[in-house]
Copies of this chain bind each other. A is one copy, B any other.
Amino acid sequence: MKDVARAAGVSHMTVSRVVNGDPGVLPDKVSRVERAIRKLGYQRNDMARQLRRQGQTTGTIGLVVDDVANTFWSSLARAVEDVAMRQGFLVLVGSTNDDRRREQEVVSAFCSRRVDGLVVVPVAGSQRFLQTQMAMGTRVVCVDRPADGLDVDTVVVDNRVATRDAIAHLLGQGHERVGFLGDRDDIWTAEERYAGYIDALADAGIDVDPSYVRRGVRTATLATDAARELMESPRPPTAIFGGNNMITIGVIAALSRDHAPGTTALIGFDDFPLADRLAPPVTVVQQDPAALGTTAAQMLLARIEGDEAPARTVVLQTRLLQRGSGEIPPAVSRSGRRR
């Protein structure tokens, strides 16, 4: 900046004014400065800038998700980015892999870079450490899951009711043995979905048979293994519920590789690409990750711009998308079928 000022024959303050589009600079000086900027390839140093402009926004928000490579989170990320961009905000993205330590690292790295706010998908455990960041003025919005003991804006869906309805849909068709494959049970959504499963069985007066339940299923491959195990038991389930998109995809592999496809009913939580092209097309509890992201980002930006209303929780809609796999009746043979 000093170099530019010297080259243009003005003070560094005039350069600052030109860079920031201050109208009170004479046209000829503006053009002299602009020429010097171009010649020297000067670019404003936003770090120094933010240092001086205390209390002002840095125009940056952080997004902390489980895994950007999963379509669910990447759609959400894209939505957040679009909203942020449109308002001139930049987005930092970090994946936690649902690991608490990594979450802390990512959040800490973001905060020491003085982001104005965070959109967080909280991993299991207490988010108390976020409290200290919030005390320093960093605004936080939770998405997909609420944060333990933290009074912040939150955007979620009603996982429990949605799952209960989906299971009820299966039971309504005569299924009595419904398998449940869920993610790690310290993850809020997994817990809620399991509760919905229990609810539905209880409503129908069916006892929960733990041998039909597999929890802590973290990857598609593990889901395939678990589903295969279920199907190879003496009395296999006639329907399976996949607790998220990864799990559902894993279950599909197990069902289509080892068993006559289309004989076991399947409903998955979360829609995924090509679910409607499979044989049979997969019935899913559909939620809209982009809408989650958009809503969360908008709430966060509103907070950053000064919204001080009490924390709200927004519950977005889900929909049971009946495509076929969830409408398969129980197999005729009472004992299911072995390979």
| A residues with CB within 8 A of B | 41, 43-48, 50-51, 58, 60, 67-71, 74-75, 77-78, 81, 85, 90-95, 102, 108-114, 132, 135-136, 249, 252-253, 256, 272-274, 277-279
Q: Would you call A253 and B273 a contact (CB within 8 A)?
A: no
Closest chain B residue to A89, Cβ basis = B109
Closest chain B residue to A59, Cβ basis = B109
Chain B residues with Cβ under 8 A from A41's Cβ? 132, 135-136
Q: Would you call A90 and B81 a contact (CB within 8 A)?
A: no
Chain B residues with Cβ under 8 A from A69's Cβ? 71, 74-75, 77-78
Closest chain B residue to A112, Cβ basis = B46
Chain B residues with Cβ under 8 A from A95's Cβ? 78, 81
Closest chain B residue to A113, Cβ basis = B46
A203 to B69 alpha-carbon distance, docked (Å)? 39
Closest 6 CB pairs of A and B: A69-B78, A74-B74, A46-B112, A47-B47, A93-B93, A274-B274
A167 to B98 alpha-carbon distance, docked (Å)? 43
Q: Would you call A71 and B68 a contact (CB within 8 A)?
A: no
Chain B residues with Cβ under 8 A from A46's Cβ? 112-114
Chain B residues with Cβ under 8 A from A90's Cβ? 92, 94, 109-110, 113
A70 to B274 alpha-carbon distance, docked (Å)? 14
A43 to B112 alpha-carbon distance, docked (Å)? 7
Closest chain B residue to A43, Cβ basis = B112
Most buried by B among A90, A110, A252: A90
Known: A74-B68, A74-B71, A94-B81. A249 touches B278 (CB 8 A): no
Q: Would you call B91 and A91 a contact (CB within 8 A)?
A: no
Most buried by B among A67, A113, A136: A113
Chain B residues with Cβ under 8 A from A81's Cβ? 68, 93-95
The oligomer's copy count stands at 2
Distance in Å: Cβ of A87 to nearest Cβ of chain B: 13
A78 to B96 alpha-carbon distance, docked (Å)? 11
A95 to B279 alpha-carbon distance, docked (Å)? 34
Q: Would you call A113 and B273 a contact (CB within 8 A)?
A: no
Distance in Å: Cβ of A44 to nearest Cβ of chain B: 6
Q: Would you call B78 and A112 a contact (CB within 8 A)?
A: no
Distance in Å: Cβ of A104 to nearest Cβ of chain B: 12
Distance in Å: Cβ of A66 to nearest Cβ of chain B: 11
Chain B residues with Cβ under 8 A from A77's Cβ? 68-69, 74, 93
Closest chain B residue to A138, Cβ basis = B43
A48 to B68 alpha-carbon distance, docked (Å)? 30
Closest chain B residue to A38, Cβ basis = B132
Distance in Å: Cβ of A190 to nearest Cβ of chain B: 21
Distance in Å: Cβ of A243 to nearest Cβ of chain B: 18
Taking a contact as CB atoms closer than 8 A, the residue among B47, B111, B252 that contacts A43 in the complex is: B111
A235 to B167 alpha-carbon distance, docked (Å)? 48
Chain B residues with Cβ under 8 A from A108's Cβ? 43
